[in-house]
A and B are shown apart, each in its own frame.
Chain A
């Protein structure tokens, strides 16, 4: 498994090379270099996965965790900060997701970014991002994860702000970075607590996820933390979750993600749909044994934040008119599904195989995998559409199915997948999540089923708005939309093929499951039927409302509930709340007074000292007038005075 180092090293070298050469290379050459490197990385990842999953399982049915590299990067006294590569089922699965989507995006960007200024820089940043994301998933310890976590944050910042002359992109990149940084602060404090009380940053290599009868994180000494009080480890884990919530755009830290759509669309597909935003989910999954062992009650925080976010984002998505915003909110909602699935996974110490209580973990990872594929496909499809009509607004679209057949079909497949229609991949993963939720609590299960229906509704609203519905004929006559070049359609086709097949062709549970053992996915007929029926109903409603040329029902609803529509359209004013907090409170009521205080009070004090000295010397200066006659007079008086004193 020594070749895994190349998976990290190659994109990094490609980043350095492209970044340093920059405009010395032509667009074509730099794009080819970036794509070739990524192709090699993807091939290596597939090879790694092949080797890893075809190796013999251990006696307890799990895959062995491999650590081909691990070296001390920074010694910190008793602790140490290592860098290494760790391969276990979820990290190998993530390697496949990241390298696949990244490769697709690299190919796609050839067409999408054609002729853009800064093409070379774009490919350099893509390489940087890919390297950081791969480093994040193979981290051997929580600190390495944090390091790459920060790096993906920065590459996301750079890519959102790619069009750096557009004010909206600048603001969005800033917002994305600062909001996630704010969350990262909690993550860091969580890591510090964890590291201090357990004297280690390492993940447990020996016991991958959770095996029956084995203490989780056996190599991590939790005695000190337990001695210090039961709240220590839960606190640390919840703080880490806040960090994960920031990256994964959980309410109320989700506000950066919709704005992040200002970046180039392929970037949104790669970073803000498929890979970086699921880092939070991945982090929870990574720390999962700790959660179930030390903070099982706090898991409900994850669940209910996830449930609320899923609902909130779905509600907002129903009212957006910018197609990328709809997709962004749908991403938030789907990531919340994954979070919920992790939260509801509650394996007890009893037998784990075929136990619905431990289904959530596998469901979450499964959904992560399928979602990455179909959401990337949706975003890349949206990119083709934007490429064709040069706008994000749904009002400029409508009726595009005639002009862009390939985009239309792939988009439809992905929409069906996300809506949960069999046999597309989303159906299988979502069904597992709903089963797990139902098992956890029926309320949670039914809310999530409702959100799944909303998902189907808004996705088809989007689909009809773009490809059917009211066509903007004036615009299309002036500038006829055309199908994208093959570099852009090829990734769409590949991704939609994966979407069609990956649900039923492979048994995901045999690779990743809570116990690490082979788990046969089987559908719960009642839940599967319910969810399909509800999804189909939602699609029919959407068809009824949005498929036709005129849309009386939608307009009518908008007019009947103007306030609700406006609130949803304005995303329930969450951005305004943040704007208020940052500008009104932090800038105007903390920073400005502090700056004033510094200039006027503290600096004023020192200036006052100088001024006082100056004034005092001016007073004293009068005594040394330089008038010798006056000196003589004083001298004489003094002599007389001294004489009198002496005589007396």
Chain B
């Protein structure tokens, strides 16, 4: 039997991998990936808590699906921005993108 802790540990690892990636990576694309990682870690938690603790309800699944939809939209916009930035500046490294700063 897979215990709830195993999955929670997995999601925690995913979450912190995402946090670490978000804070350390220079590439916007990698940051976006890290954000996806964190979102998915949260999704796993939604699913697992629903499945394990409140099997009669469906709110957790709904929230996960909702999040997936929003994440997809958000990635689409983010990638669109990145492509545009890349076209303009030939670079998507966050440290170098200071053109719009004051």
Contacts and interface: CB of A to CB of B under 8 A. Distances in A.
A54 interface: no
A629 B24 contact: yes
Chain B residues touching A, range: under 10
Interface string A513-534: 0000000000000000000000
Interface string B12-45: 0000000100111000000100000000000000
Scoring A627, A629, A633, A636 by chain B CB atoms within 10 A of each residue's CB, the highest score goes to A629
A629 B23 contact: yes
Contacts of B101: 626
B23 A632 contact: yes
A632 B22 contact: yes
A627 B94 contact: yes
A632 B24 CA distance: 10
B94 A633 contact: no
A623 to B, nearest CB: 14
B85 to A, nearest CB: 15
B19 A632 contact: yes
B102 to A, nearest CB: 9
Interface in B62-102: 94-95, 101
Interface string A588-628: 00000000000000000000000000000000000000111
Contacts of A632: 19, 22-23
A643 to B, nearest CB: 15
A72 to B, nearest CB: 67
Interface in A149-206: none
Chain A residues touching B, range: under 10
Nearest to B100: A626
B97 to A, nearest CB: 10
Nearest to A621: B102
A313 to B, nearest CB: 76
A632 B19 CA distance: 9
Contacts of A628: 94
A436 B23 CA distance: 109
Interface in A626-640: 626-629, 632-633, 636
Contact of A636 (B19, B31, B94, B95): B19
A629 B101 CA distance: 16
A626 B24 CA distance: 15
A629 B94 contact: yes
A593 B80 CA distance: 66
A26 B51 CA distance: 116
A636 B15 CA distance: 13
A628 B94 CA distance: 9
Contacts of B31: 629
Contacts of A627: 94-95
Contacts of B94: 627-629
B84 to A, nearest CB: 19
A626 B97 CA distance: 11
Contacts of B95: 627
B77 to A, nearest CB: 16
Nearest to A626: B101
B22 to A, nearest CB: 6
Contacts of B24: 629
Contacts of A633: 23
A256 to B, nearest CB: 64
A632 B22 CA distance: 8
A636 to B, nearest CB: 7
Contacts of A629: 22-24, 31, 94
A636 B31 CA distance: 16
Contacts of A626: 101
Contacts of B22: 629, 632
A636 B16 CA distance: 11
A627 B101 CA distance: 11
Interface in A121-151: none
A645 B101 CA distance: 36
A303 B39 CA distance: 108
Contacts of A636: 19, 23
A53 to B, nearest CB: 91
Interface in A5-39: none
A632 B18 CA distance: 12
A629 B23 CA distance: 5
B17 to A, nearest CB: 14
B15 to A, nearest CB: 12
Nearest to B31: A629
A122 B25 CA distance: 90
A626 B19 CA distance: 18
Interface in A444-487: none
Contacts of B19: 632, 636
A477 B22 CA distance: 109
A590 B31 CA distance: 68
Nearest to B98: A626
A635 B1 CA distance: 38
A644 to B, nearest CB: 18
Nearest to A631: B23
Nearest to A634: B23
15 contacts: A626-B101, A627-B94, A627-B95, A628-B94, A629-B22, A629-B23, A629-B24, A629-B31, A629-B94, A632-B19, A632-B22, A632-B23, A633-B23, A636-B19, A636-B23
Given A629-B23, A632-B19, A636-B19, 5 more contacts: A626-B101, A627-B94, A629-B94, A632-B23, A636-B23
Give the 7 A-B residue pairs with the shortest CB-CB distance, closest first.
Answer: A629-B23, A633-B23, A632-B23, A626-B101, A632-B22, A629-B22, A636-B19
Interface of A: 626-629, 632-633, 636
